[in-house]
């Protein structure tokens, strides 16, 4: 019942698509220079109230710096951050209406769990009885009711993570910043916690901004993802937008796995383009105004297609884009099998196949000949 | 894996500890000597201890030493801790290398030079030499030891703890007292103990910087020894050794117990 209602509400939640919606957090020309290098480079972005926003990038992409600028630990070199209509310039971290959950959890080792959680409330001068109530509520929220008197080092990693979460939530900040919140948990626990966090975020109606390098985590949890590289936001979008319609080669390559066929445009028939790949395969693909529409015949271009959108078969295939080669690598993962097919031109094509029946995985083996094909609309023409 | 002690190990052990502790053991033994002749044993007695507590000169000197030690150790700990924080935190300020060198220099500076330069300073500014000049001098040379001890702890300190405190609304001052200080506390306490011990046994710097009104215990002992070693001096030294040993043992045990307790609790959490 609950999941259903959450789903229907979430489906309609898209303030970024509404031109009249007012952004809750706005980065305006934000720049941070460390020792002559720009960690954040003239960055502009809007984040909306109650949004779960993920900053995704490799290390050094500037995602953590952006979070630290928002928390107030770093001072911008240029530009500003506006939070809920208030300019954050010059406001120290201890006066900002944001709280952060640290990657290392940063629990105070000399304080009990309850004191850790109460720390922020105490700074606000809240009365002891009210403080105790709020701490009890927070402990209940993270399912650690009986752990208030323990010290952090007496808890397991997962429990410490929950305490850190409770401590950052208890002040009911306008924005919760999460720095790799699940980075230190093992895979199973991480997956459970992902859903717990998203539910919690919805129930509390808070704005969450999460930094992560794990794209699966970002896609599972976030309403929108900002892919970062070299201190810039390269693309902002919902998980399907980022995955299915990457705007650049970098984003296509960074998110998931992709086959990129570099080539030259050799023919055009309306929106149907024919590209001759660098290794000599003509492929027929769909373009549109935005994607490939402006290309002249003879121009260099590239086509990106994800492994699961290719078909693989042990017998010759019909269709527009068929290539054949030798099965070079097989990775059986359980729910799916991933193949590396080596074409006659030595080029490797990656294909993944869903193991929808128990026999499907065992049909092909190393060194055998196999055929792959894809539909003209399976991938995207990349602008660069 | 327990190795039997080889003959070589045994000899080096005995020699090492012998060199270190034989003089002290002899001193302690002779402090209980009934004879007034320091080197002739004539039976057990505690008369020198009784007599010691009637020696007003020695008692006064002990009192001065204790006050100098307490005040200078406390001041040196405060200043040394702040110096250590400045050195580890503000790594980009101009002249950091120079400042670091200047904080560490007194560690290797010959005491005679420290004492002489302080004496010249006090004379130059016309500061009456006595209790306060000795105390100031002790603060000066012991604070760098505190800085070194505290700095080593700060280097392993997780900065995100402080950021977390500030993020939760604590001002920088509040953050220091509620989070930083409690975490680095063992190092600060060790620094205080070190400063106190240094002050307790300093003879050279105190001799340069004191005036007629304030004589510390080491100075008193030294001046009495020049007139001949009395068993009374042995008794004073034995008491000093007892105090220092007790202090060091307490610090070690406190640290050890905390560690053991932490390990035990840690095991209980996963049991």
pLDDT tens-place string over residues B3-22: 667 888 888 888 888 888 88
**Subunit contact A109:B183, Cβ cutoff 8 A:** yes
Average pLDDT over residues B104-116: 86
The count of CB pairs under 8 A between chains A and B is: 77
Tell me which chain B residue has its CA closest to the CA of residue A173.
B168
**Subunit contact B160:A102, Cβ cutoff 8 A:** yes
Residue A378 and residue A324 in one domain: yes
Q: Which residues are CB-neighbours of A99 under 8 A, at least 6 positions away?
A: A120, A168, A169, A171, A173, A175, A176, A177, B167, B168
Distances (CA, A) of A144 to A113, A116, A141, A165, A379: 10, 13, 8, 11, 47
CB atoms within 10 A of CB A258: 21
CATH of the domain at A67: 3.40.50.300
| pLDDT at site B264 | 63
Q: Which residues pair with A211 in a beta bridge?
A: A55, A179
CB atoms within 10 A of CB A72: 21
- Gap between the Cα atoms of B4 and B25, Å rounded: 28
CB of A120 within 8 Å of any CB in chain B? yes
Q: Percent helix, strand, coil in chain A (nearest 5)?
A: 30, 35, 35
pLDDT above 90: residue B53: no
Tell me which chain B residue has its CA closest to the CA of residue A99.
B167
- Gap between the Cα atoms of A31 and B100, Å rounded: 33
CATH of B56-270, one of 3.30.930.10, 1.10.3720.10, 3.40.50.300, 3.40.50.10260: 1.10.3720.10
User: A336 to chain B nearest CA, in Å?
Assistant: 37
Q: pLDDT class for B178, splitting at 50, 70, 90?
A: very high
Residue A261 and residue A247 in one domain: no
Residue A213 and residue A297 in one domain: no
User: B26 to chain A nearest CA, in Å?
Assistant: 45
- Gap between the Cα atoms of A291 and A31, Å rounded: 31
Hey, what's the torsion of the CAs at A298, A304, A310, A314, to 10 degrees? Answer: 60
- Pick A1 or B98 by higher pLDDT: B98
Enter the pTM of the model: 0.80
| pLDDT at site A2 | 39
Q: Which residue has the tokens 């083996």?
A: A365
| pLDDT at site A131 | 94
| pLDDT at site B1 | 47
The mean predicted confidence, pLDDT, of chain A is 88
Q: pLDDT class for A8, splitting at 50, 70, 90?
A: very low
- Gap between the Cα atoms of A29 and A45, Å rounded: 9
pLDDT above 50: residue A39: yes
Highest-pLDDT range among A131-135, A202-206, A278-282, B183-187: A131-135
CATH of the domain at A330: 2.40.50.100
Contacts of B265 in chain A (CB under 8 A): 151, 153-154
Q: Which of A204, A232, A252 is the last residue of a domain?
A: A252
CB of A167 within 8 Å of any CB in chain B? yes
Which of these, A106, A200, A221, A100, lies nearest to A160 by C-alpha position? A106
The count of domains in chain A is 2
**Subunit contact A123:B269, Cβ cutoff 8 A:** no
B107 phi, psi to nearest 5 deg: -60, -35
**Subunit contact B270:A156, Cβ cutoff 8 A:** yes
Residue A221 and residue A365 in one domain: no
pLDDT above 60: residue A344: yes
CB of A124 within 8 Å of any CB in chain B? yes
| pLDDT at site A362 | 62
| pLDDT at site A320 | 83
Q: Which of A252, A286, A301 is the last residue of a domain?
A: A252
Residues 133-192 of B with CB under 8 A from A: 158, 160-161, 163-172, 174, 178-179, 182-183
**Subunit contact B160:A154, Cβ cutoff 8 A:** no
Residue A241 and residue A360 in one domain: no
Q: Does a structural domain hold residue A240? A: yes
pLDDT above 60: residue A218: yes
Percent of chain A residues past pLDDT 70, beyond the cut: 96
From its phi and psi, is residue B52 left (phi > 0), alpha (psi between -120 and 50) or beta?
alpha
Which of these, B98, B72, B75, lies nearest to B216 by C-alpha position? B72
User: A100 to chain B nearest CA, in Å?
Assistant: 7
Highest-pLDDT range among A4-13, A43-52, B29-38, B209-218: A43-52
In a 13 Å sphere around the CA of A211, the CA atoms on its Cβ side amount to 24
CB of A109 within 8 Å of any CB in chain B? yes
- Pick A172 or B254 by higher pLDDT: A172
pLDDT above 60: residue A10: no
Distance of CA A177 to the CA centre of its chain: 15
How is residue A197 written in tokens?
């966090």
Percent of chain B residues past pLDDT 70, beyond the cut: 91
Percent of chain B residues past pLDDT 90, beyond the cut: 24
Residue A181 and residue A227 in one domain: yes
> Pairing between strand A78-83 and A86-87?
antiparallel
pLDDT above 60: residue B2: no
> Pairing between strand A52-57 and A207-212?
parallel
User: A178 to chain B nearest CA, in Å?
Assistant: 12
Residue A271 and residue A335 in one domain: yes
Which runs of E-coded beta strand occur in A48-149? Answer: 52-57, 78-83, 86-87, 98-101
Distances (CA, A) of B172 to A76, A94, A233, B84: 20, 9, 33, 16
Residue A337 and residue A219 in one domain: no
Residue pair A39/A64 in contact by the 8 Å Cβ criterion: no
Domain segments of chain B as ranges: 6-45, 56-270
Instruction: For residue A78, give its domain range.
Output: 2-97+173-252
Residue A83 and residue A213 in one domain: yes
- Gap between the Cα atoms of A224 and A12, Å rounded: 14
User: B164 to chain A nearest CA, in Å?
Assistant: 6
Q: Which of A99, A104, A107 sits opposite B167 (nearest CB)?
A: A99
| pLDDT at site A41 | 92
Which of A71, A88, A94 should one mutate to test binding to chain B, selecting the residue with the greatest count of B CBs within 10 A? A94
Contacts of B166 in chain A (CB under 8 A): 72-73, 92-94
CB atoms within 10 A of CB A10: 13
Distances (CA, A) of A336 to A106, A140, A316, A369, B47: 39, 39, 22, 20, 92
Which of A70, A93, A104, A179 should one mutate to test binding to chain B, selecting the residue with the greatest count of B CBs within 10 A? A93
Tell me which chain B residue has its CA closest to the CA of residue A175.
B167
By three-state DSSP, how is residue A175 classified?
strand
Contacts of B269 in chain A (CB under 8 A): 150, 153-156
> Pairing between strand A52-57 and A224-229?
parallel
Q: Which of B161, B169, B182 sits opposite A120 (nearest CB)?
A: B169
B243 phi, psi to nearest 5 deg: -65, -50
By three-state DSSP, how is residue B158 classified?
coil
Q: Lowest mean pLDDT: which of A29-38, B113-122, B255-264? A: B255-264
pLDDT above 80: residue B269: no
Q: Which ipTM was obtained for this model?
A: 0.82
């Amino acid at each position: 019942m609950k999941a259903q209602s959450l789903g229907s509400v979430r489906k309609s939640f898209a303030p970024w698509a509404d031109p009249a919606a007012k952004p809750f957090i706005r980065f305006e020309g934000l720049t941070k220079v460390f020792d002559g290098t720009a960690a954040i480079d003239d960055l502009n972005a809007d984040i909306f109230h109650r949004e779960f926003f993920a900053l995704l990038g490799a290390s050094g992409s500037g995602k953590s710096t952006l979070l630290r600028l928002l928390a107030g630990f770093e001072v911008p070199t240029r530009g500003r951050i506006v939070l809920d209509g208030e300019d954050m310039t010059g406001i120290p971290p201890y006066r900002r209406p944001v709280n952060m959950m640290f990657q290392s959890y940063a629990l105070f080792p000399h304080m009990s769990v309850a004191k850790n959680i109460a720390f922020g409330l105490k700074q606000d001068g809240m009365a002891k009885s009210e403080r105790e109530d709020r701490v009890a509520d927070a402990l209940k929220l993270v399912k650690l009711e009986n752990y208030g008197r323990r010290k952090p080092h007496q808890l397991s990693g997962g429990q410490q993570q929950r305490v850190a979460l409770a401590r950052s939530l208890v002040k009911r900040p306008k924005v919760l910043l999460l720095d790799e919140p699940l980075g230190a948990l093992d895979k199973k626990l991480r997956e459970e916690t992902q859903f717990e966090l998203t539910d919690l975020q919805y129930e509390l109606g808070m704005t969450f901004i999460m930094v992560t390098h794990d794209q699966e985590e970002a896609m599972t949890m976030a309403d929108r993802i900002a892919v970062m590289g070299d201190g810039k936001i390269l693309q902002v979008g919902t998980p399907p937008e980022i995955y299915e319609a990457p705007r650049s080669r970098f984003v296509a390559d960074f998110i998931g796995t992709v086959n990129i066929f570099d080539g030259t445009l050799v023919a055009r028939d309306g929106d149907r383009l024919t590209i001759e790949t660098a290794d000599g395969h003509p492929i027929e693909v769909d373009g549109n105004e935005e994607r490939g529409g402006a290309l002249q015949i003879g121009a260099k271009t590239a086509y990106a297609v994800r492994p699961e959108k290719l078909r693989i078969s042990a017998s010759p295939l019909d269709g527009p884009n068929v290539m054949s080669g030798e099965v070079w690598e097989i990775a059986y993962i359980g729910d799916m099998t991933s193949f590396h097919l080596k074409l006659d031109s030595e080029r490797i094509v990656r294909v993944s196949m869903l193991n929808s029946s128990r026999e499907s995985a065992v049909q092909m083996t190393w060194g055998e000949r196999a055929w792959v094909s894809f539909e003209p609309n399976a991938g995207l023409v990349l602008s660069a | 894996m327990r190795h039997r002690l080889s003959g070589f190990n045994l000899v080096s052990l005995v020699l090492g500890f012998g060199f270190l502790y034989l003089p002290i053991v002899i001193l302690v033994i002779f402090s209980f000597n009934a004879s007034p002749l320091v080197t002739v044993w004539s039976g057990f007695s505690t008369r020198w201890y009784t007599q010691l507590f009637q020696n007003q000169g020695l008692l006064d000197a002990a009192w001065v030493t204790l006050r100098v030690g307490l005040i200078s150790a406390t001041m040196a700990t405060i200043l040394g801790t702040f110096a250590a924080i400045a050195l580890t935190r503000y790594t980009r300020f101009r002249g950091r290398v120079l400042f670091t060198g200047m904080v560490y220099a007194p560690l290797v500076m010959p005491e005679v030079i420290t004492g002489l330069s302080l004496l010249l300073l006090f004379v130059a500014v016309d500061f009456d030499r006595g209790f306060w000049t000795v105390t100031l001098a002790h603060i000066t040379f012991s604070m760098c030891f505190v800085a070194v001890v505290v700095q080593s702890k700060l280097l392993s300190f997780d900065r995100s703890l402080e950021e977390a405190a500030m993020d939760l609304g604590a001002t920088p001052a509040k953050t220091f007292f509620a989070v930083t200080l409690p975490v680095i506390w063992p190092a600060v306490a060790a620094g205080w103990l070190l400063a106190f011990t240094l002050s307790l046994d300093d003879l050279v710097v105190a001799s340069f910087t004191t005036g007629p009104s304030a004589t510390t215990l080491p100075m008193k002992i030294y001046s009495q020894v020049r007139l001949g070693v009395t068993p009374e001096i042995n008794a004073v030294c034995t008491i000093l050794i007892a105090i220092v040993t007790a202090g060091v043992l307490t610090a070690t045990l406190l640290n050890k117990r905390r560690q053991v307790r932490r390990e035990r609790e840690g095991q209980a959490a996963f049991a």
